[in-house]
Amino acid sequence: MGEFDAAGEVVSGALWSRAAENRHGEGHGEHGGICLNCGARLLGPHCHRCGQAGHVHRTIGAIGHEILHGVVHFEGKLWNTLPLLFFRPGELTRRYIHGERARFVSPMAMFLFSVFTMFAVLQIMGISPPAEVGTAAQFEQGLSFARQNTESALADARESRARAEPGSERAKKLDKRIAGLSRDLEEFKKIPVSLSRASGKGLNFKTGWKRLDKGIEKANHNPGLALYKLQTNSYKFSWALIPLSIPFVWLLFFWKRRFKGYDHAVFVTYSLSFMSLLGILLTIAGGLGLRLNIIATVAVFAPPLHIFFQMKGAYRLRGWSALLRTFVLLNMITFIVVIFALLLLGLGLLG
């Protein structure tokens, strides 16, 4: 059965086949040629119906060209998107919602890029929770053993230092060792035993969902394994954070009919993308030796500030209105994270 071109002319299967067999023939890819994708007659170098180029390649070099074009094309959009995502997120969200999309990476593409990059960085940096933590009693026993070993090593170092010749290289090395062991011992003393006992309480409730209750029981028995599985599996289901978050954002504007579900989806997806990219930057900064207090400060204050400015700009809110909604949303985020973790537990991914 034939196909109709844009002018209503039938492009028969035989004509289509001849065009496909003569890809390198005279006139193919020029005005009057036939699109090998949809069969429409070409009116220019690209098909006006499906957008495919009139001239196609069948060479090994064409594969490299397509890869390069895809990377450069995405990169061009990426450099248009990243500055706005970091410094003017509200403007980026508003412009994308209102139709300015060709120059920006789409919210979902940016989200997938940021999530995959984040977990790649975590794997490269070797950052992961221990797979085995054990019970609270085992934790206390390990903590006590480590503290005793540190105290013993510190006493030996001080004894050796007393016998070392003042000003010698050995004395200097022992001074550094004593200082390091003293710091370690102070850190151990800052960990209260009551905290380790409290950490062993876990989640003591039943939901009635057998799979979820079983997952909670396993997580309580070995929280370290649950954390490890959370890291290794969460990226596969991180997309679930988008539909989980949209209703909470909708609640902030449900009486304003001009804001649609699509608007909230774009807001949420770009926001989650920023959070992932921020995690990447802080992880790399920590690996390069940036002070922990600086990293912690940025991690605490950057997300709420970003949400505030994104909400203010995307929805064109006044400052006090955006601030109030940001405060409410930050509290809702706790429930979103809990729901996400319970979802993974219910699916048996953390047990």
pLDDT mean over 35-43: 83
Contacts of 63 (CB under 8 A, 6+ apart): none
pLDDT higher than 90, residue 15: no
Contacts of 261 (CB under 8 A, 6+ apart): 246, 250
Name the most confidently modeled range: 115-119, 153-157, 236-240, 276-280: 276-280
pLDDT higher than 70, residue 14: no
Tokens representing 135 are: 């019970």
* Largest CA-CA distance found in the chain, in angstroms, rounded: 101
Nearest alpha-carbon partner for 157 in 134, 184, 128, 137: 184
The phi and psi torsions of 3 (rounded to 5 degrees) equal -115, 150
pLDDT mean over 237-254: 88
pLDDT higher than 50, residue 25: no
Going from the C-alpha of 152 to that of each of 46, 145, 156, 219, the distances in angstroms are: 78, 11, 6, 35
Q: What band does 218 get if pLDDT is binned at 50, 70 and 90?
A: low
Number of Cβ within 10 Å of residue 211's Cβ equals: 13
Averaged pLDDT score across all residues of the chain: 76
Q: What pLDDT, in 10s, does the model give residues 279-337?
A: 889 888 888 888 888 998 999 999 999 999 999 999 999 999 999 999 999 999 888 87
Q: What pLDDT, in 10s, does the model give residues 248-266?
A: 999 999 998 899 999 999 9
Per-residue pLDDT at 168: 86
Name the most confidently modeled range: 114-123, 181-190, 202-211, 248-257: 248-257
pLDDT higher than 70, residue 346: no
99-121: b (≥16 Cβ within 10 Å) or e: eeeeebbebebbbbbbbeebbeb
Q: What band does 271 get if pLDDT is binned at 50, 70 and 90?
A: very high
pTM (two decimals): 0.61
Tokens representing 48 are: 């006006």
CA dist 347 and 229 (Å) reads 12
**Strand 10-11 to strand 3-4: parallel, antiparallel, or no bridges (unpaired)?**
antiparallel
CA dist 276 and 117 (Å) reads 8
Q: Which residue has the higher pLDDT, 2 or 296?
A: 296
